[in-house]
């Protein structure tokens, strides 16, 4: 058998060729793992845009919106027009003694609203509140079952308005992620018996990510005859969470307000961004969203940054 061996010159050439191959081929993995980042702090803003007649504006594009957080402009990373994401709703009816005469009309309006707004894949939980807050039934998209729940309302005495906001917010916070959340509350805003206070209600509502739609029904137009403290509290919380507030003087206007809420929920824009710079963990953040044109925009103006992970 004949064997051969490469001389020193051949070995040197081979070494050069091998080195050249490794220098030309791109690395399969980054040599610095620190540059690989997965962002999980996407902030989602659901916005309703209305024209001067209160009608939804549905033909806007990503370029029509500008947003900032704590005064710093942000880049839009996610945009969905007329988002079809499922929605979880907490419908809360004030059954206190001051609302007793209106319960039948409110129940009829809620019955109709449930039939209009709840679609397959959505869910609605029905709550009544007086001195206590009670969830009747469970979150479901079963319209007939929900309408039965509405008919089980019973009148009570006091009005635990702040407790209602807190418990409705917490119930929605337990729902699955990446779904829209909204609280619809019908009340005369006569807060009398809550354990929770205003600030607790405000922070819990903001932390839940739910929009708050407040329908305040009060036949008394003079402020001297109304509980304006409860009204002002709902105005503030509603503005922070991004819903809308309707002040009515006739309970028969409720169906139209329910219709407007349903219309807003079905024509929302989803605008997502990664905050820059990274917000301090747990900090209170303020968002400003503007749109080109003479429009009214309802959107979440405040959120709390995620707490630092251990």
Kindly report the average pLDDT of the chain as a whole number. 86
H or E, element range at 213: strand 211-217
Q: Are residues 290 and 221 in the same domain?
A: no
With CA atoms as reference, report the closest residue to 107 among 152, 141, 67.
152
| pLDDT tens readout for residues 227-279 | 677 899 999 999 999 999 999 989 999 999 999 999 999 999 999 999 999 99
| pLDDT tens readout for residues 174-208 | 999 889 999 999 999 989 999 999 999 999 999 99
The structural domain count of the chain equals 2
Q: Which residues pair with 271 in a beta bridge?
A: 45, 79
* Torsional class of 54: left (φ above 0), alpha (ψ -120 to 50), beta (otherwise): left
The answer to whether residue 12 is domain-embedded is no
The answer to whether residue 37 is domain-embedded is no
The answer to whether residue 204 is domain-embedded is yes
Structural domain harbouring 47: 43-82+276-304
Range name among 101-110, 203-212, 284-293 with the lowest pLDDT average: 101-110
The pLDDT of residue 15 is above 50 = no
The pLDDT of residue 5 is above 70 = no
The answer to whether residue 35 is domain-embedded is no
Task: Give residue 308's pLDDT.
Answer: 72
Task: Give residue 227's pLDDT.
Answer: 65
The CA distance from 212 to 241, in Å, is 6
Residues 14-35: b if buried by 16+ CB within 10 A, e if exposed: eeeeeeeeeeeeeeeeeeeeee
Range name among 5-19, 39-53, 168-182, 194-208 with the lowest pLDDT average: 5-19
Q: Are residues 142 and 129 in the same domain?
A: yes
% of the chain exceeding 90 in pLDDT: 72
Q: Are residues 258 and 110 in the same domain?
A: yes
Range name among 28-32, 41-45, 298-302 with the lowest pLDDT average: 28-32
Q: Which residues pair with 270 in a beta bridge?
A: 46, 80
pTM of the model: 0.83
Q: Are residues 69 and 185 in the same domain?
A: no
Contact call for residues 66 and 290 (beta carbons, < 8 A): yes
The answer to whether residue 59 is domain-embedded is yes
The answer to whether residue 22 is domain-embedded is no
% of the chain exceeding 70 in pLDDT: 83
The CA distance from 307 to 305, in Å, is 6
Task: Give residue 230's pLDDT.
Answer: 85
The CA distance from 8 to 21, in Å, is 20
The answer to whether residue 50 is domain-embedded is yes
The pLDDT of residue 17 is above 80 = no
Q: Are residues 133 and 251 in the same domain?
A: yes
Q: Are residues 66 and 162 in the same domain?
A: no
Q: pLDDT band for position 307 (50/70/90)? A: confident
């Amino acid at each position: 058998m004949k064997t051969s061996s490469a001389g020193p010159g051949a070995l040197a050439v081979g070494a050069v060729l091998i080195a050249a191959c490794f220098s030309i081929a791109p690395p399969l993995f980054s040599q610095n793992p620190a540059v690989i980042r997965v962002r999980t702090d996407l902030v989602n803003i659901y916005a309703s845009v209305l024209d001067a007649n209160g009608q939804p504006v549905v033909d806007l594009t990503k370029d029509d919106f500008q947003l900032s957080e704590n005064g710093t402009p942000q880049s839009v990373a996610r945009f969905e027009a007329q988002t079809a994401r499922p929605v979880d709703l907490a419908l809360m009816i004030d059954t206190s003694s001051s609302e007793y005469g209106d319960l039948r009309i409110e129940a009829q309006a809620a019955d109709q609203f449930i039939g209009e707004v709840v679609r397959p894949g959505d869910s609605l939980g029905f709550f009544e509140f007086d001195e206590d807050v009670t969830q009747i039934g469970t979150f479901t998209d079963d319209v007939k079952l929900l309408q039965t729940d509405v008919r089980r309302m019973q009148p009570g005495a006091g009005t635990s308005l702040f407790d209602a906001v807190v418990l409705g917010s917490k119930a929605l916070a337990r729902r699955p992620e990446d779904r829209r959340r909204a609280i619809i509350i019908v009340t005369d805003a006569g807060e009398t018996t809550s354990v929770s206070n205003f600030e607790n209600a405000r922070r819990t509502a903001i932390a839940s990510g739910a929009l708050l739609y407040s329908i305040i029904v009060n036949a008394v137009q003079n402020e001297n005859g109304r509980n304006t403290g409860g009204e002002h509290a709902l105005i503030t919380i509603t503005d922070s969470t991004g819903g809308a507030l309707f002040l009515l003087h006739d309970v028969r206007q409720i169906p139209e307000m329910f219709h407007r809420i349903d219309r807003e929920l079905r024509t929302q824009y989803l605008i997502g961004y990664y905050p820059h710079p990274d917000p301090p963990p747990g900090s209170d953040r303020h968002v400003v969203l503007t749109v080109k044109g003479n429009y009214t925009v309802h959107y979440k103006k405040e959120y709390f940054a995620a707490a630092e992970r251990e």
